[in-house]
Amino acid sequence: MTTAATQPPADALVLFGATGDLSKRKLFPALYRMEDHGSLNVPVVGVARSDWNDAAFCQHAHDSILAAIPDAKAAVIDSLLARLDLIQGDYADPKTWKSLASTLRKHKSEHAVFYMAIPPSMFPTVAQSLASVGLNDRGRIVVEKPFGRDLASAKDLNTLLHTVFPEERIFRIDHYLGKESVEDLLVFRFSNTLLEPVWNRNYVRSVQITMSETIGVEGRGSFYDGVGAIRDVLQNHLLQVLALVAMEPPAGPASNHLQDEKAKVFAAMRPIDPTAMVRGQYVGYRDEPGVAPDSSVETFVAARVEIDSWRWAGVPWYVRCGKALKENATEVVVEFREPPSLLFDEAGGPAPERNLVRFRLGKHDGVTFTLQAKTPGPHLDSQNVDVAVDFAAALGMRREAYERLLDDALAGLPRRFAREDVVEQTWRVVQPALDSPDGVHPYFRGSWGPAEADRVICGDTWFPPST
Residues that bind ligand BG6 (CB under 6 A): 213, 232-233, 330
- Tally Cβ neighbours within 10 Å of residue 284: 14
Which of ligand NDP, ligand BG6, none sits in contact with 213, Cβ below 5 to 8 A by type?
A: ligand BG6
Nearer to ligand BG6, 111 or 323 (CB): 323
Q: How far is the CB of 178 from ligand BG6 (least distance, A)?
A: 9
Contact 280, 322 (CB under 8 A): yes
- Residue 120 touches ligand NDP, criterion: CB under 6 A: yes
Cα distances (Å, whole numbers) of residue 466 to 239, 353, 386: 21, 17, 11
Catalytic residue among 237, 364, 379, 441: 237
Stretch of 67-75, 119-127, 316-324, 434-442 contacting ligand NDP, by CB under 6 A = 119-127
Q: Which value, in Å, is the radius of gyration of the alpha carbons in the chain?
A: 24
Question: Among positive and negative, which fits the CA dihedral 262, 267, 268, 274?
Answer: positive
Nearer to ligand BG6, 233 or 325 (CB): 233
Which of ligand BG6, ligand NDP, none sits in contact with 233, Cβ below 5 to 8 A by type?
A: ligand BG6
- Residue 117 touches ligand NDP, criterion: CB under 6 A: yes
Which of 40, 48, 164, 243 is the binder for ligand NDP (CB under 6 A)?
Answer: 48
84-88 sheet: strands from edge to edge: 84-88, 44-48, 12-16, 112-116, 140-143, 170-172
The C-alpha angle 197, 261, 392, rounded to 5 degrees, equals 70
SS3 194: coil
Nearer to ligand BG6, 225 or 232 (CB): 232
Nearer to ligand BG6, 330 or 355 (CB): 330
Torsion-angle region of 325 (φ positive above 0: left; ψ -120 to 50: alpha; else: beta): beta
Q: In whole angstroms, what is the distance from residue 339 CA to residue 347 CA?
A: 16
Which of ligand NDP, ligand BG6, none sits in contact with 222, Cβ below 5 to 8 A by type?
A: none
Strands 44-48 and 12-16: parallel
- Tally Cβ neighbours within 10 Å of residue 344: 7
Stretch of 17-25, 338-346, 425-433, 454-462 contacting ligand NDP, by CB under 6 A = 17-25
Which of ligand NDP, ligand BG6, none sits in contact with 212, Cβ below 5 to 8 A by type?
A: none
Stretch of 113-121, 307-315, 411-419, 446-454 contacting ligand NDP, by CB under 6 A = 113-121
Q: How far is the CB of 232 from ligand BG6 (least distance, A)?
A: 5
Q: In whole angstroms, what is the distance from residue 191 CA to residue 262 CA?
A: 18
Which of 35, 144, 150, 403 is the binder for ligand NDP (CB under 6 A)?
Answer: 144
Q: How far is the CB of 232 from ligand NDP (least distance, A)?
A: 8
Question: Among positive and negative, which fits the CA dihedral 64, 65, 71, 76?
Answer: negative
Nearer to ligand NDP, 219 or 314 (CB): 219
Contact 210, 271 (CB under 8 A): no
Question: Among positive and negative, which fits the CA dihedral 222, 227, 232, 236?
Answer: negative
Which of ligand BG6, ligand NDP, none sits in contact with 119, Cβ below 5 to 8 A by type?
A: ligand NDP
Axis crossing angle, helix 74-83 with helix 54-68, rounded to the nearest 10: 140
- Residue 148 touches ligand NDP, criterion: CB under 6 A: no
* Spatial CA neighbour of 172 closest among 149, 139, 136, 140: 140
- Residue 29 touches ligand NDP, criterion: CB under 6 A: no
- Residue 238 touches ligand NDP, criterion: CB under 6 A: no
Q: Is 237 a catalytic residue?
A: yes
Which of ligand NDP, ligand BG6, none sits in contact with 48, Cβ below 5 to 8 A by type?
A: ligand NDP
Catalytic sites, residue numbers: 237
Binding site for ligand NDP (CB under 6 A): 17, 19-22, 25, 48-50, 91, 117-120, 122, 144-146
